Amino acid sequence: MEITQRAVKDATVLDVKGDLTYSNRAAFKTAVEQVKNRNCLHLIVNLEQVRFLDSSGLGLLVLMSQSFKLQNAKFSLLKPQSYVREIMSLANLPKMIPIYETEGDALTARAA
């Protein structure tokens, strides 16, 4: 798994590449917490290049979104692939974490 971090207007984007699974959970958690500890107001996790998400990965997304909420910050997901999207839908994730199709949408939603 590769995680790249970049700053965009009013937010930080993590571009994740590879599988978000049990074996990669530590790397993902560390990357998100680094952003969180800098008091970022909005983290957008770009899932465009994530092929597979297992139950641990799913739990981690929820855990991270809960910790951002506690900090009054926003946590969004961007462009999940169809398989990942299906897993998230079965677990009702879209009701808890906003999912956007474009970075622009994610940023506008923040402004709104």
Query: How many residues in the shown chain lie near another protein by CB under 8 A?
Result: 19
Q: Does 30 bind another protein (CB under 8 A)?
A: no
Please report how close the Cβ of residue 4 comes to another protein at its closest, in angstroms: 22
Of 40 and 61, which CB lies nearer to another protein in the complex structure?
Answer: 61
Residues listed for the chain? 112
- Residue 110, amino acid: R
User: Among positive and negative, which fits the CA dihedral 38, 5, 43, 45?
Assistant: negative
Q: Does 108 bind another protein (CB under 8 A)?
A: no
Residue 69: its H or E element: helix 55-70
Please report how close the Cβ of residue 66 comes to another protein at its closest, in angstroms: 7
SS3 label, residue 85: helix
One of 19, 91, 98, 103 touching another protein (CB under 8 A): 91
One of 66, 71, 102, 108 touching another protein (CB under 8 A): 66
Q: Work out the angle at residue 31's Cα, subtended by the Cα atoms of residues 28 and 36, and round it to the nearest 5 degrees.
A: 120
